[in-house]
Structure 1
Amino acid sequence: MTRLISSLAEVSAGYDALFCDLWGCLHNGRAAYPAAVSALQAYRVRGGRVVLMTNAPRPNCYIQAQLDKLGVPRDAWDFIVSSGDAAQMALLSGAVGYRVYHLGPAKDDGFFTDLPDDVADPPKITRVPLDEAEGIVCTGPFNELTETPEDYRSTFLYAKAKGLKMLCTNPDLVVDLGETRIFCAGALAALYEEMGGEALYFGKPHPPIYDLARRRLADHGGAVDNGRVLALGDGIHTDIQGGVGEGFDTLFVTGGLAADAFGPDVEAPDPARLETWLAKHQLSATYAIGRLR
């Protein structure tokens, strides 16, 4: 049974590292959550390490710049691992070919240009029109504020007929930008698969992003046993499912994407509603909290 807690400090002494989600836990895309920032700062003061783990499709340097803009201080975390980081490694290995069609907004161009420092002599990746492509790299809709996956049905019919694989750089289906819910690359990839296409995933809940996080942990102070890692986030099928699959304890932040399901007080989820909801999704977290604090 999932244990409801009121603060991270109630349980954090049992863990040497946190794998902490960003959107919905540390910020809402518009502003940082001060209580969440304070909780991470306090954890690090006590000697814990914080890995910010996000399904954003961009390399971690762009996530760092966004956090700076949102007012998240650098003493709240140790390093960042993004779905974009893990997907870049797959792209450079030729997972969908080297001549690719980019489905996504211009803000994600850094996925192709800002390559990891530890990759020696990377292959040349060329972005081409769809009819010349060996594969698709999907970082999201071209216009995330107005478009839905259905706007791409004809594109996907053509891509499927060509037998193109899609590299999905962000497995999230939706995210809340302030009060606006927008579709992510995962929603487009899901439709492509529904139509018979093949999509490849590298962010949460899939293993590559966790493997990368473990390697970075080892490089930043030493490896951590799975039993001493706490994975936390508001995505039941990303953060929590991924953490469970990796053998970590998990902390479900109920006040994020599914906040409406747990009663009128975002800070105090109703225990009965929470258990019913988790049973419906056939998942159980180690702990749950209304908002990270």
Structure 2
Amino acid sequence: MTRILQSLAEISASYDALFCDLWGCLHNGKQPYPAAVAALQAFRAQGGKVCLMTNAPRPKQYVVAQLDRMGVPRDAWDLVVSSGDAAQDAMFEGAVGRKLWHIGQAKDDGFFTDITQAHVGSPAIMRVPLAEAEGIVASGPFDEETETPEDYRDRFQDAIDRGLVMLCANPDLVVDMGETRIYCAGALAEFYESMGGKALYYGKPHAPIYDRARQLMGLGPDARCLAVGDGIDTDILGAMQQGINSIFVTGGLAADAFGSDVENPDADKLRDWLGARDRTPAYAIGRLR
């Protein structure tokens, strides 16, 4: 049975490392949650390691720059691992070809241009129109404020007819930018697959991003890890598949399902909601604090 927490401190001594989601847990896309920042600082102060694990489709340095702009202090985390890192590795290894149609915005250009030392000698990646493409990279809609996956139906059908595979740089379906909910690359990839196409994923809940985090953190096989997130099919499912405990942040994407008090989820509603989705986080909390 999922235990509802009032604070991370209730259980923090039982864990060595924390895999913490960003959007909906540490910040809302515009500003950090002070209580969440304090909780991570306290976890590190007692000797724990914090990995900010995000499905952002950009290499980690761009995520760090965004956190700095928002005012998230550096002493709240040890490292950042992004879906963009893992997906970028796959792209330069040729997972979907070398001539690629990119669905996304200019803010994601670093995915293609900021080449890590490991891939400096790799054959060039070229962004081309759909008609010339060997594969697709999706980092998000062209216009995330107005577009839906349905807007891509005709172009996706053409790509599917030609057998193009999509590399999804962000498996999230939606995120909340302040008070506005926007579609992510995961929604495009899900729609592509529903039409008969094939998509590849490298962020949560898939194993590559967890493997990368453990390696960079120097965690041994006996490390006691805990995942924190508001994505039931990314953060929580990923933790279940990795065999690690998780805290489901109910005040994030699914906040409306657990009663009127976002800080204190209704226990009965939470039990029924999780049961309907066959998800079993060890813990739940209204907001990370």
Report if TM-score (shorter chain) is over 0.5.
Answer: yes
Residues 252-279 of structure 1: CA distance to partner in whole angstroms, max 9, x if unpaired? 0000000000000000000000000000
- Count of aligned positions: 289
Aligned to 1:168: 168
Name the CA distance, whole Å, in 1 between partners of 2:110 and 2:256: 35
Are the counterparts in 1 of residues 138 and 185 from structure 2 also a CA contact under 8 Å?
A: yes
Instruction: Give 1:217 deviation, angstroms.
Output: 1.1
Superposition RMSD on alpha carbons, in Å?
0.9
SS for the counterpart of 1:154 is helix
- Asked whether 1:269 is paired with 2:252, we answer no
Q: Which moved more, 1:39-48 or 1:225-234?
A: 225-234
Alignment-derived partner of residue 2 in structure 1: 2
Aligned with 1:238 (options 231, 234, 239): 234
Helix, strand or coil for the counterpart of 2:117?
coil
Aligned-residue offset at 1:226? 5.8
In 2, the alpha carbon distance for the partners of 1:238 and 1:227 equals 21
Q: CA separation in 2, counterparts of 1:15 and 1:8?
A: 11
Q: 1:227 to 1:270 in 2, by over 3 A?
A: farther
Give the match for residue 86 of structure 2: 86
SS in 1 for 2:63: helix
SS in 2 for 1:81: strand
CA distance in 2 between counterparts of 1:62 and 1:171 reads 18
Partner residue, 2:195: 195
C-alpha distance in 1, partners of 2:142/2:63? 19
> Offset at 1:211?
1.0
- Residue in structure 1 matched with residue 277 of structure 2 by the alignment: 281
Deviations 1:149-172 (A, max 9, x none): 011000100000110000000000
Q: Provide the rounded CA distance (Å) in 1 between the counterparts of 2:69 and 2:159.
A: 37
Partner of 2:97: 97
TM-score (norm: length of structure 2) = 0.98
Please give the alpha-carbon distance, in whole angstroms, between the structure 2 residues aligned to 1:214 and 1:227. Answer: 9
SS in 2 for 1:276: helix
Aligned residue runs from structure 1 range 114-263, under 5 A = 114-119=114-119, 121-218=121-218, 223-225=219-221, 228-263=224-259
The question of 1:292 aligning with 2:285 is answered: no
Moved more, 115-124 or 259-268: 115-124
TM-score (normalised: structure 1): 0.97
Deviations 1:38-79 (A, max 9, x none): 000011010000000000000000000000011100000000
1:226·1:248 contact (CA, 8 Å) conserved in 2? no
Cα separation, 2, equivalents of 1:84 and 1:12: 29
Quote the offset at 1:120 in angstroms. 5.0
State the match for 2:61 in structure 1. Answer: 61
CA distance in 2, matches of 1:141, 1:132: 20
For residue 281 of structure 1, what is the amino acid of its counterpart? R
Report how far residue 121 of structure 1 moved.
1.8
Q: Which runs of 5+ in 1 are unaligned?
A: none
- After superposition, where does 1:33-72 map in structure 2 within 5 Å? 33-72=33-72
